Structure 1
Amino acid sequence: MRKLFFLSLIIALSTCHTLTFAQKKQPEEIPLFDGNSLDGWYSFISKRGKDNDIKSVFSVKNGLIHVSGEEYGSIVTNNEYENYKLLLEFKWGEKTYAPRIDRARDSGLLVHSTGPDGGYRGIWMRSIECQIIEGGTGDLLVVGDGSDSYAITATIAKKTGTANVFIPGGEPLTVHSGRIDWFGRDPEWRDEKGFRGRNDLENPLGEWNTIECIARDDSVSIYLNGTLVNQATAVKPSRGRIQLQSEGAEMFVRKVSLFALDPR
């Protein structure tokens, strides 16, 4: 019964996605990665600061962004953005580093990033995170200061333990810190390298995945490999820079593109 429920939910959400975009003219693509350089971005590495990536945690090799994962940090867009669809194509590499050498491969796409570099734990700008982690890609996190300035509201299923799990039509919940899990996250998820959940939509290690983050007005919707996996409204803030994390795991990115959307 559990598998039938998730199959029905995936079909319904995928159909919604197809209808939404098939009926509208696609906006012009604005590449944020040119395949040759990190122009348009700057780096911020924990304990090293801005543009001091001496270990080349972020580099471009063979037309791909290579995130080594060796040190915590991010690349950050020079510009702020609002009302867009952000498309990211990524795959995991083999290498992992302490303190997550034996833990689930971890990274993240941080949108609406505001405030000072390193404002969150001395590493990242405060933001709204589309989590990229084995078993949990598509979770939404508030990477803020706990105040009303950073928040998301999502509809959630009845709680299992302490988890807040997104489900369309569920009970609305507003959080100023913490996370909303994607709808199929395995309740027995373990923070271990190579973890795969029973309902994972992320492709196996070494295969490419596509994330679409649709930020329009004060809403954020996350699609993983074509399926809506998470959604939030009343998002604060609703504009800012974009960050791509390094968090202990090697990752490759072949495409980062933005598509401007009109406000509703």
Structure 2
Amino acid sequence: MFALRRCAFALLLAVSASSLSAAEPDAKPIVPTETISLLGDGDLKQHFYSWLTDGGHEDPRNVFTMGKDGVLHISGDGFGGLITRNEYANYYLVLEYRWGTETLLSRKGKSRDSGVLLHCQGPDGGFGGTPEKPGPWMTSLECQIIEGGVGDILVLAGKDADGAVMRAEATCSIVRDRDGEAVWSPTGKPTLFKAGRINWYGRDPDWKDVVDFRGKEDVESPGQEWTTVECFCQGDSLVYRVNGVVVNRADKVFPNHGKLLLQTEGAELFVRKMELRPLPKEIP
């Protein structure tokens, strides 16, 4: 019975990986030469398709909707995300978001949580699931967006359609905080990560998973104010900047290109800008 369920899971992942892709399997990733607005003219289907753990590619509860003002509303009523139809490489991502007030499902009353997965590879739902049920994410490198932890790097090594573990890794200069957690530091020790999280430099060691948490050094805008997150993806390096402050770096990342996934993770979120721009001449 387990083998049969595993085969069914593999088939579902294989179908999901191929059914909505806009590019040929061997197509080269797009390198922006001008600004690409992923929110486009308000038609999400121009650049994205959706994925939810309880609905696959269907969105019957309208978790993702565009307002008449051109602002994307993510209700948070589900786990999954908006996934770009194309793959991208060597880009400068600019995201402007603000939190709503709602927290839902298993995240009710907990820190508002979301994120952007970079360089996504493999099948939809290939990370965070089980042989019986696909997960919400993909093999990727995440730019974490969570109260108190905006700018953390997460290395997400998922599985391919056959159930084999896919490669994902990053090398970061780190120190260890009092609890032994990895924290990015420009003077730290270069360390290879094949899974796990690298905290942004100022993450409060007393962080708690409660709604409205705010650390002493947080650079994310407070409350429901707008925050700007920037990701500089050049070759196999990543630089994250939040409201103009560099908060994290990684080198020797793999994969170094792929789709992007904007998460829904049990928290209401508004996004007024999500752009891929050509890399600037100087990376911060």
| Same fold, TM-score > 0.5, yes or no | yes
Partner of 1:256: 274
Q: Is the 8 Å Cα contact of residues 83 and 262 (structure 1) preserved in structure 2?
A: no
- Equivalent position amino acid for 2:105 in 1: A
TM-aligned CA deviation for residue 47 of structure 1: 2.2
Give the structure-1-normalised TM-score: 0.86
- Tell me which of 227, 233, 247 is aligned to 1:209: 227
- Equivalent position amino acid for 1:142 in 2: V
Partner of 2:172: 154
Q: Is the 8 Å Cα contact of residues 170 and 193 (structure 2) preserved in structure 1?
A: yes
Matched, 1:138 2:151: yes
The 5 A counterparts of 1:48-67 are 48-50=55-57, 52-61=58-67, 62-67=69-74
Distance, in Å, in 2 between the alignment partners of 1:231 and 1:157 is 13
Q: Is the 8 Å Cα contact of residues 58 and 67 (structure 1) preserved in structure 2?
A: yes
- Tell me which of 171, 181, 185 is aligned to 2:199: 181
Distance, in Å, in 2 between the alignment partners of 1:130 and 1:88 is 11
Partner of 2:36: 30
Partner of 1:73: 80
Distance, in Å, in 1 between the alignment partners of 2:205 and 2:187 is 20
Q: Helix, strand or coil for the counterpart of 1:142?
A: strand
Partner of 2:218: 200
Distance, in Å, in 2 between the alignment partners of 1:70 and 1:158 is 35
Partner of 1:18: none
Q: Helix, strand or coil for the counterpart of 1:56?
A: coil
Segments of 5+ residues of structure 2 without an aligned counterpart are 1-32, 130-134, 160-164
- Equivalent position amino acid for 2:38 in 1: L
CA RMSD of aligned residues (A): 1.9
TM-aligned CA deviation for residue 162 of structure 1: 2.4
Distance, in Å, in 1 between the alignment partners of 2:140 and 2:166 is 13
- Structure 1's consecutive aligned runs of 4 or more residues displaced over 2 angstroms after TM superposition are 145-148, 260-264
- Equivalent position amino acid for 2:112 in 1: R
Partner of 2:14: none
The 5 A counterparts of 1:164-179 are 164-179=182-197
Report the number of matched residues: 238
Partner of 1:129: 142
TM-aligned CA deviation for residue 204 of structure 1: 0.8
Segments of 5+ residues of structure 1 without an aligned counterpart are 1-26
Distance, in Å, in 2 between the alignment partners of 1:109 and 1:178 is 16
Matched, 1:92 2:105: no
Partner of 2:246: 228
- Equivalent position amino acid for 2:81 in 1: S
Partner of 1:15: none
Q: Is the 8 Å Cα contact of residues 139 and 182 (structure 1) preserved in structure 2?
A: yes
Q: Helix, strand or coil for the counterpart of 2:182?
A: coil
Q: Is the 8 Å Cα contact of residues 35 and 60 (structure 1) preserved in structure 2?
A: no
Partner of 2:109: 102
TM-aligned CA deviation for residue 173 of structure 1: 1.1
Give the structure-2-normalised TM-score: 0.80
Distance, in Å, in 2 between the alignment partners of 1:249 and 1:255 is 18
Instruction: Describe the superposition over 1:54-107 as per-residue Cα deviations: whole angstroms up to 9, x where unpaired.
Output: 001111013111010011110000000000000000000001102011110000
Distance, in Å, in 2 between the alignment partners of 1:157 and 1:163 is 8
Distance, in Å, in 2 between the alignment partners of 1:164 and 1:95 is 30
Q: Helix, strand or coil for the counterpart of 2:105?
A: coil
C-alpha distance 35-134 of structure 1, shift in aligned 2 (>3 A): farther
- Equivalent position amino acid for 1:186 in 2: D
Instruction: Describe the superposition over 1:222-264 as per-residue Cα deviations: whole angstroms up to 9, x where unpaired.
Output: 0000010000001010000000000000000000100123999
Q: Helix, strand or coil for the counterpart of 2:172?
A: strand
Distance, in Å, in 2 between the alignment partners of 1:145 and 1:125 is 6
Matched, 1:245 2:245: no
